[in-house]
Structure 1
Amino acid sequence: MALKALFKKNKQLKDQWLKYLKQHLELENIAFTEELSVFDMIRNGLDTDVGKRRLSTE
């Protein structure tokens, strides 16, 4: 919940997260829309093979 409050207060931070997720997680079969929350992207990204590989290498 702390991140959600932070994103509400800091739109630039939220935009940076969206940019990071779009560029680096390479989510498969997920349409990037403003309606899709950052948290949905993170959760869905970590559930993909790409997300799991990225986590295992970091």
Structure 2
Amino acid sequence: MFRVRNLDEMVMRLQEKGYELEGEMVNYENIYCLCYSRGAEGILVGLAERLT
């Protein structure tokens, strides 16, 4: 899991490089927005943006 500053922007950048969003972005208790992305190599990457 990696913490990022702007999750929407990071997801767009990863999609340009061939990563696909696994599932959907979720709000965890209004503290984090979380998602998972999978690259061409099959590696799953977790991303989190702190909301507060």
Same fold (TM over 0.5): no
Q: Relative to total residues, which structure has the larger strand share, 1 or 2?
A: 2
TM-score w.r.t. structure 2 length? 0.30
Greater relative contact order (Cα 8 A, min sep 6): structure 1 or 2?
2
Task: Give the structure with the higher percent helix.
Answer: 1
Over alpha carbons, which structure has the higher Rg? 1
